Amino acid sequence: MNEFLGTSGLILNEPLLWERGKKGRAAYSLPARDVPESPLPEALCGAGPDFPDLAEVEVVRHYTRLSTWNYGVDTGFYPLGSCTMKYNPKTNERQAALKGFAAAHPLLPAPLSQGALKLMAELERDLAEITGLPAVTLQPAAGAHGELAGMLIFHAYHKSRGKQRTKILIPDTAHGTNPASAALCGYAPVPVPSDGEGVIDPKTVAALMDEETAGIMITNPNTLGLFEENIREIARIVHEKGGLVYGDGANMNAVLGIVRPGEIGIDILHLNLHKTFSTPHGGGGPGAGPVAVRADLARFLPVPRVIEKDGRYELCDAFPDSVGRVMAFHGHVGVLIRAYSYIRTMGPAGLRQASRLAVLNANYVRERLKGTLHLAYNRPCMHECVFSDANQQADGISTLEMAKRLMDYGYHPPTIYFPLVVHGSIMIEPTETETKEDLDQFCAAFKAIVQEAKESPQLLREAPERCKVTRLDETAAARNPCLIG
């Protein structure tokens, strides 16, 4: 079949707009001129940008088609572990699109930005309530950026006590961004191995913690989807040696309204608003990674901070110990509005229920698949469950091949080969927004794939076969990201 014949309504390929454009076409019409023609000054002429000439319908069809090539939470199940790809209620989009917010200019003075500033102040209060940590900055643009802000606060804290430290403890079940963020602030990461149960043993921390160590950066629930149940004891050990406890709260979706990090020994924590608090994300789109801190660390938070004075809101720079600005203007305000809308529409009971269901769904998938796939740690999980390809070794099939085959069944693959502590890991985070029927169907597809691995492994080795782009040479594709044509 010649894929360039016929109509391109159901396209397999899509030319670039430059290939489609034809001189003289336009996507606008202007009324006939009723004044004499007057040439532009020479300086304004010359070669303009190389834009193709296109009709409106060509542009609309091009982008509408391309939009159907994407896979998103609105088109199907997206169990990408650690990423919390849950359905994002559309009402949040509506609030973010309200003209007063969407059209506000970031350089408007505070007296003309009262609505946005009030929303920010109230969101800070809500996040303080959720985390049990009383002071919050909304500036960081993502989780990793929140970590960086948190590490700058570690640095400022130790400096204020007269002695900088050189190392930081980071469990092997932490998110991969953690050691990078610490290293950017000059702290050498010291790995803390997890125990046979997939969590950190306080004795291991006690053996590593010393007065050269700035503290610990701990992901809880960790990347195995397990709750660090010794967190209080770990925090006590770290505090006793003058260190701080940083909590990576990107997995807060598991414990909203159930655990307040500030009450279990965590001093500084970031949240991922784009994950837990409902902004469509992925592909590097805008996020927000607010950081919450215990009361005595508030003086180090980035400036400007939103403050309330006599019922009016202002941005205030008068915090001499602050680590400074970490983001231009007010941060990613659109994400903040969505999070505010999400928190207010869900309410405390709704948020707690979301977390309970997220944990229930992950445990349901864990139970349904544990006879089929090897379960890395055979114990109840939080928001995600981690399997491996150990059972498929005998068939010569690996995690990558099963993940590729899932695409033929219409699913976005789970996170694979992460966390590193599990060889060939498959990390599934179903989130709370999926129905039992959808989870059952996903588990049935996974079981069918495992059966195929035994009976016709070639199907998996060549998968995906039904996608627009089939099996890629991954190295070449990364070096030359031109996948079609």
Ligand X SMILES: *Cc1c(COP(=O)(O)O)cnc(C)c1O
Cβ-Cβ contacts under 8 Å for 444 (sequence gap 6 or more): none
Q: CA distances (Å), 119 to each of 88, 273, 343, 346, in order? A: 20, 15, 12, 16
**Residue ranges of the alpha helices (H) in 53-208?**
56-69, 90-97, 99-102, 114-131, 143-160, 177-184, 202-208
The reply to whether 250 sits near ligand X by the rule CB under 6 A is: yes
In the list 85, 96, 119, 142, the residue contacting ligand X (rule: CB under 6 A) is: 142
Site string for ligand X, 310-329 (x = CB under 6 A): --------------------
| CB-nearer residue toward ligand X: 139 or 177 | 177
Question: Quick one: tokens of 48?
Answer: 């303009």
The reply to whether 289 sits near ligand X by the rule CB under 6 A is: yes
The reply to whether 415 sits near ligand X by the rule CB under 6 A is: no
The reply to whether 272 sits near ligand X by the rule CB under 6 A is: yes
Q: How far is the CB of 163 from ligand X (least distance, A)?
A: 29
Residue among 196, 241, 192 nearest 217 (CA): 192
Q: How far is the CB of 153 from ligand X (least distance, A)?
A: 17
Number of other residues whose CB lies within 10 A of the CB of residue 384:
32
Comparing every residue's Cβ against ligand X, the nearest one is 143
The reply to whether 143 sits near ligand X by the rule CB under 6 A is: yes
* C-alpha span between 142 and 326 (Å, rounded): 11
Q: How far is the CB of 251 from ligand X (least distance, A)?
A: 5
The reply to whether 144 sits near ligand X by the rule CB under 6 A is: yes
* C-alpha span between 270 and 293 (Å, rounded): 9
Residue holding tokens 């928190």?
Answer: 343
Cβ-Cβ contacts under 8 Å for 384 (sequence gap 6 or more): 81, 82, 221, 225, 251, 362, 427, 428, 429, 430
Q: How far is the CB of 178 from ligand X (least distance, A)?
A: 7
The answer to whether 248 touches 175, Cβ cutoff 8 Å, is: yes
The reply to whether 220 sits near ligand X by the rule CB under 6 A is: no
The answer to whether 213 touches 190, Cβ cutoff 8 Å, is: yes
Q: How far is the CB of 336 from ligand X (least distance, A)?
A: 14
Q: Which stretch binds ligand X (CB under 6 A): 44-52, 139-147, 196-204, 441-449?
A: 139-147
Site string for ligand X, 98-137 (x = CB under 6 A): ----------------------------------------
How is the chain split among helix, strand and coil, in percent rounded to 5?
Answer: 40, 10, 50
Residue among 388, 410, 407 nearest 399 (CA): 388
Q: How far is the CB of 58 from ligand X (least distance, A)?
A: 36
Site for ligand X in 167-186 (CB under 6 A): 175, 177
| CB-nearer residue toward ligand X: 175 or 404 | 175
The reply to whether 287 sits near ligand X by the rule CB under 6 A is: yes
* C-alpha span between 79 and 452 (Å, rounded): 21
The reply to whether 251 sits near ligand X by the rule CB under 6 A is: yes
Q: How far is the CB of 478 from ligand X (least distance, A)?
A: 19
Residue among 298, 242, 240, 288 nearest 268 (CA): 298
The reply to whether 248 sits near ligand X by the rule CB under 6 A is: yes
Q: How far is the CB of 220 from ligand X (least distance, A)?
A: 9
The reply to whether 85 sits near ligand X by the rule CB under 6 A is: no
The reply to whether 430 sits near ligand X by the rule CB under 6 A is: no
Q: How far is the CB of 68 from ligand X (least distance, A)?
A: 26
Q: CA distances (Å), 219 to each of 124, 251, 252, 276, 421, in order? A: 22, 8, 10, 15, 14
Which residues of the shown chain bind ligand X in the complex (CB under 6 A)?
82, 142-144, 175, 177, 219, 248, 250-251, 272, 287, 289
